[in-house]
Structure 1
């Protein structure tokens, strides 16, 4: 079968293999036929050789951690043939750490977890893959065009879950949320804020294009200037850019007793002249919280599936700005200026076998 692969740590090693082995039964009882995989910055960084780890004994790593497929068989009876599913990315470490031992693998403490398409497990950018039932998340059949958004949605569900938990330290009645960054993570974070009934604001550097319309369709107010120039103080900020200036401005802008969730990852290597003492004073005297969030566990994936089922299908579909057949896979990893989410569509290829 065909699979999109790289040699981890080797830039320019992206290849579509036509003779990749069928998934071994050791990977799981549930056999799935791929429908689509989403592409994100993590994939591009792995292709650039920045990180990535092949499975033990393998030279190449199958890419793809944003998955959608249909069940071919499940001898355990947990799922039925034809069910629409996505695969949970992270698996707990083998020791396990205290968090992995209770299925909170998103909070792994020793770093020995594995991740499909990233670290030690083959990804979902192959025509067929297997999973254990506990890592297969069922989706509403009506999500067959947009269910590939489940993985990024799970990430922001976890972020909001932790925001809610932190908020319960006191009387928590947030009214206003600011989302910085209008990529897939940011717009999905705005979707969840809207579903919570908050007044939503989205900030991004784009001044035209689909991001403005997508934010507007949620009822959100769109901004394109600096965070520090906003004329309000949000109760919650979900920072999705990773841009150092935006991160620091967000921490300074949140309202008293507010919460800032850092969901974007900075590249590093840039120094900013910044008054850390003033920030410390503000955080302490106003009881503010800044925390980081990444990945998701099964509880978040299930909640993400419910959130997608409640969302407008047309709006979700508009997030996917380009669908690429498997035969043209390489173009999927070269995003254009208007792209929000690019998807490799396995059903569009007449060569499937």
Structure 2
């Protein structure tokens, strides 16, 4: 069968393999026909050789962690043939740590977790894959064109879950949210905010194109000026750029008792002249919280699946700005200026 692979740590090793082995039954009882995988920045970094880890004893890693497939067989009865399904990316470590032991593997403390298409587990960019029932998330049939958005949606579902948990420290009645960065994570974070009835503000450098239009379709107010020039203080900030200046300005912008969730990952290596003392003073005196959030556990995947099923399917489809057949796989991994989400398609 066909599979898209790389040799981790070797830039330029991206290739389409025509005779990749069928998935082993050790991977799980549920056999899935791949429909598509989403492409994200993590894939680009693995292709560039920045990181990635092949399964034990293997040289190559199958890419793809934003999955969408259709069940071919499930002897466990968890799902039925024909059901739409996505595979959860992260699996708990084998020790396990206290969090992995209770299903909170997104909060793994010892780093021995594994991840499909990223770390020691084959990814979903192959014609067929297998998954264990506990890591198989059934999708509403209406998500047949957009189900590969479930993985990024699970990331923001976790972010909002943790925002709620932190907010519960006091009387928490947030009214406004600022989302910085109108990429897939940012737009999905704004979607979940709009479903909560919040006053949504989005900030991005793009002054035209699909991002302002997609924001407007959510009823959000769109900004493309620097964060420190905004004339309001949001109760919640969801930072999705990882740009150091934006991160710091977002931390300074939150309202008293505000919560800032950092989902963007900075590349590092950049020094900024910044008054850290003033930031510390504001955070302490205003009882603000800044926290980081990455990955998701089963609870968040289920929350995300429900959120996507409630969303306008036309709006979700608009997030996918390019659909590339596997026969032209290399095009899917070439970043375009107007890309929001690219889908590599295997079958329909």
Q: Shorter-chain TM-score: which interval?
A: over 0.9
Name the CA distance, whole Å, in 2 between partners of 1:79 and 1:232. Answer: 47
Q: Deviations over 1:228-263 (max 9, x none)?
A: 000000000000000000000000000000000000
Q: 2:25 maps to which residue?
A: 25
Q: 1:340 maps to which residue?
A: 340
The alignment partner of 2:80 has SS state of: coil
Q: Deviations over 1:33-66 (max 9, x none)?
A: 0000000000000000000000001100000000
Q: Give 1:28-47 correspondences, 5 Å limit.
A: 28-47=28-47
Q: Give 1:253-264 correspondences, 5 Å limit.
A: 253-264=253-264
Q: 2:267 maps to which residue?
A: 267
TM-score by length of structure 2 reads 1.00
Q: 1:182 maps to which residue?
A: 182
Q: 2:223 maps to which residue?
A: 223
Name the CA distance, whole Å, in 2 between partners of 1:25 and 1:346. Answer: 21
Q: CA deviation at 1:135?
A: 0.2
Q: CA deviation at 1:178?
A: 0.2
Name the CA distance, whole Å, in 2 between partners of 1:146 and 1:36. Answer: 9
Q: Give 1:194-209 correspondences, 5 Å limit.
A: 194-209=194-209
Name the CA distance, whole Å, in 2 between partners of 1:130 and 1:217. Answer: 37
Q: 2:150 maps to which residue?
A: 150
Name the CA distance, whole Å, in 2 between partners of 1:111 and 1:17. Answer: 30
Q: CA deviation at 1:320?
A: 0.2
Q: 2:92 maps to which residue?
A: 92
Unpaired segments of 5 or more residues in structure 2? none
Q: Deviations over 1:96-131 (max 9, x none)?
A: 000000010000000000000000000000000000
Q: CA deviation at 1:270?
A: 0.4
Q: 1:235 maps to which residue?
A: 235
Q: CA deviation at 1:213?
A: 0.3
Q: 1:351 maps to which residue?
A: none
Q: CA deviation at 1:335?
A: 1.4
Q: Deviations over 1:148-169 (max 9, x none)?
A: 1000000000000000000000
**1:63 aligned to 2:60?**
no
Q: 2:287 maps to which residue?
A: 287
Q: Deviations over 1:154-200 (max 9, x none)?
A: 00000000000000000000000000000000000000000000000
Q: Give 1:73-222 correspondences, 5 Å limit.
A: 73-222=73-222
The alignment partner of 2:321 has SS state of: strand
The alignment covers a number of residue pairs equal to 348
The alignment partner of 1:347 has SS state of: coil
The alignment partner of 2:98 has SS state of: coil
**1:319 aligned to 2:313?**
no
The alignment partner of 2:257 has SS state of: coil
Q: 1:245 maps to which residue?
A: 245
Q: 1:54 maps to which residue?
A: 54
Name the CA distance, whole Å, in 2 between partners of 1:320 and 1:15. Answer: 23
Q: Deviations over 1:13-40 (max 9, x none)?
A: 0010001000000000000000000000
The alignment partner of 1:188 has SS state of: helix
Name the CA distance, whole Å, in 1 between partners of 2:217 and 2:233. Answer: 23
Name the CA distance, whole Å, in 1 between partners of 2:167 and 2:335. Answer: 37
Name the CA distance, whole Å, in 1 between partners of 2:31 and 2:204. Answer: 40
The alignment partner of 1:138 has SS state of: strand
Q: CA deviation at 1:342?
A: 0.2
TM-score by length of structure 1 reads 0.98
The alignment partner of 1:99 has SS state of: helix
Q: Deviations over 1:323-349 (max 9, x none)?
A: 00001011111111111000001126x
